Chains A and B, each alone.
Chain A
């Protein structure tokens, strides 16, 4: 132990967030291996973890996991600060904005699927806006919007169901 060592106390919160983030990163990497019909159409499996964290530990933790996942995932996949990274970041930030509101919906009527769908649509919305402003400064980008919206509908629903399932059946005892 050198005298100049800076000690950063690690709290239980940090450990929990790190564990969830690790799961999300693993899903990101696994997903990167999947072929995709169109760049940008991905299942977004890591968002299942974000949903679980949101419904279990609240928005703040979900935001940590989501943003850490984007940065660490970018590092692991090797696209950090590439256009794809910024698109992922734009998607994550807009999803988190949607989740901030969605998590306040009455839980009696609206479950994980609603929250997941709202986040998925916000995700593609944010990405399309960034792509239009920065990558493809032409309205032709919006030509692809229906395809992205279809993917958001499908994967948003599936991810929401998986998250609901994990919360109900698998994860209640892991923490």
Chain B
């Protein structure tokens, strides 16, 4: 790593290290407006989580084949469901409040590796086997997506 840095830069870094040991206080570089901007941006970041991650609580899992619903499972109780696709059987596992693709005949296993889906609107797509697993919430007003298809 050392060899990557040009001499100027290495000098600056070592001086900076030296300096910060002597002074050690970073807040001397913050002016009044900086604190204000920090506060406002912090609030905006928190707000962005609230705004963009407000997916509702999921209450049912929907399995579709070629966009048509094959089976709907409520997320109240644990069970497994076997769904047939062109490649073979995909096993969907449901537990209270979550669902996953347990196994799939597809070559790349993307939808299996996604693991547990917990949020309304979350989707696992097993494209080779033409199946999607999708979680839906009860209240339509916080549904994250209007429609999904492939």
Q: Which of A36-44, A58-66, A85-93, A163-171 participates in binding chain B?
A: A163-171
**Are B45 and A146 in contact, CB atoms less than 8 angstroms apart?**
yes
Are A153 and B42 also in contact (CB < 8 A) when A33-B1, A114-B34, A165-B29 are? yes
The yes or no answer to B5 lying at the interface (CB within 8 A) is yes
Q: How far apart are the CA atoms of A146 and B16 in the complex, in Å?
A: 32
Cβ contact of A110, chosen from B9, B31, B45, cutoff 8 A: B31
**Are B16 and A109 in contact, CB atoms less than 8 angstroms apart?**
no
**Are A109 and B8 in contact, CB atoms less than 8 angstroms apart?**
no
Q: Which residues 134-170 of A sit at the B interface, judged by CB distance below 8 A?
A: 142-143, 145-146, 149-150, 153, 156-157, 160-162, 164-166, 168-170
Contact with B along A14-57 (1 / 0, CB 8 A): 00000100110011011001000000000000000000000000
Q: Give the nearest-CB partner of A24 in chain B.
A: B9
For the complex formed, measure the closest distance between the CB of A137 and the CB atoms of chain B, giving whole angstroms.
Answer: 13
Q: How far apart are the CA atoms of A162 and B15 in the complex, in Å?
A: 12
Q: Which residues of B contact A142 (CB under 8 A)?
A: 52
Q: Which residues of B contact A165 (CB under 8 A)?
A: 16, 19-20, 26, 29
The yes or no answer to A113 lying at the interface (CB within 8 A) is yes
The yes or no answer to B48 lying at the interface (CB within 8 A) is yes
The yes or no answer to B37 lying at the interface (CB within 8 A) is yes
| Most chain A beta-carbon neighbours within 10 Å: one of B1, B9, B32 | B9
For the complex formed, measure the closest distance between the CB of A80 and the CB atoms of chain B, giving whole angstroms.
Answer: 19
Contact with A along B15-27 (1 / 0, CB 8 A): 1100110010010
**Are A157 and B52 in contact, CB atoms less than 8 angstroms apart?**
no
Q: How far apart are the CA atoms of A121 and B40 in the complex, in Å?
A: 12
**Are B53 and A146 in contact, CB atoms less than 8 angstroms apart?**
yes
Contact with A along B40-62 (1 / 0, CB 8 A): 01101100110011000000000
A-B pairs, 3 with minimum CB distance? A109-B33, A164-B29, A110-B33
**9 A–B contacts from the bound complex (CB under 8 Å):** A22-B6, A22-B8, A23-B12, A26-B5, A33-B1, A106-B33, A114-B37, A149-B48, A169-B19
